[in-house]
Amino acid sequence: MLNIFNLGKKKAPLSTDSMENGVHMITAASPSSVISEQFKTLRTNIQFSNADSNYRTLMLTSSIASEGKSTIAANLAVTFANQGLHTLLVDADMRRPTINATFSISNPKGLTNFLTDREFDVNEAIYATSIDNLFVMPSGPVPPNPAELLSSHRMDSLIKALSEQLDLVIYDAPPILSVTDA
């Protein structure tokens, strides 16, 4: 049933907390907590979902912004890294990036720099973290055309190269209903 009283109401603005302060890294802060165990269960389920081979890349997205996909992506990356896999977490959500705040990377160079500058060395956009085996690639500066950058041949080449060099690459992608980037 259509509620005519809600037609003129404005939606509440999206929270920018995770962009400014990062996401909560429960798997790093409290690795033996019940919540951390649930992330380990999720990791195990992903690993056993493809018995014939190991996944080299994962993309996490959500339907709309602020549903927790960046929190899931970051904590899942920690659980894979803690298992000994060389793991890279890529912030492919160029409109609402969180990795630089989560991992305290100030003025980061990142995915945008690599995709827009042919002379840019991708290694300058990959940062080690305090967690063994976990590396991150922030999104870098917010571009005016994220959908075009993410659908470029250069991005395809990057995905292939990263998956060949690392055990696992996790892409924190933008939400699918609000933008075309995902």
Q: Is residue 42 part of a domain?
A: no
Return the pLDDT at 21: 55
Name the pLDDT band for 4 (thresholds 50, 70, 90).
very low
Q: Is residue 108 part of a domain?
A: yes
- Please provide the average confidence, as pLDDT, over all residues in the chain: 86
Q: 69 and 61 in contact (C-beta within 8 Å)? A: yes
Q: Is residue 3 part of a domain?
A: no
Structural domain for 82, as ranges: 56-182
Q: Is residue 18 part of a domain?
A: no
Token duo for residue 45: 């389920």
Q: Is residue 46 part of a domain?
A: no
* pLDDT tens per residue across span 156-173: 999 999 999 999 999 999
Return the pLDDT at 17: 53
Q: Is residue 29 part of a domain?
A: no
Amino acid identity of 182?
Answer: A
Q: Is residue 138 part of a domain?
A: yes
Count of C-beta atoms within a 10 Å radius of residue 160: 12
Measured distance between the N- and C-terminal CA atoms of the chain, rounded to whole angstroms: 31
Instruction: State how many domains the chain has.
Output: 1
* pLDDT tens per residue across span 41-86: 999 998 888 878 888 999 998 888 777 899 999 999 999 999 999 9
Residues 6 or more apart whose Cβ sits within 8 Å of residue 146: 94, 95, 174, 179, 181
Tell me the mean pLDDT in the region 97-119.
Answer: 91
Return the pLDDT at 107: 77
Residues 6 or more apart whose Cβ sits within 8 Å of residue 56: 163, 164, 166, 167, 168, 169
Contacts by 43-51 with C-beta closer than 8 Å and gap 24+?
Answer: 43/76, 43/79, 43/80, 43/83, 46/76
Q: Is residue 47 part of a domain?
A: no
* pLDDT tens per residue across span 8-29: 445 545 555 554 556 778 888 8
Residue 112 is part of a domain; what is its CATH number? 3.40.50.300
pLDDT value at 115 more than 80: yes
65 versus 114: the higher-pLDDT residue is: 114
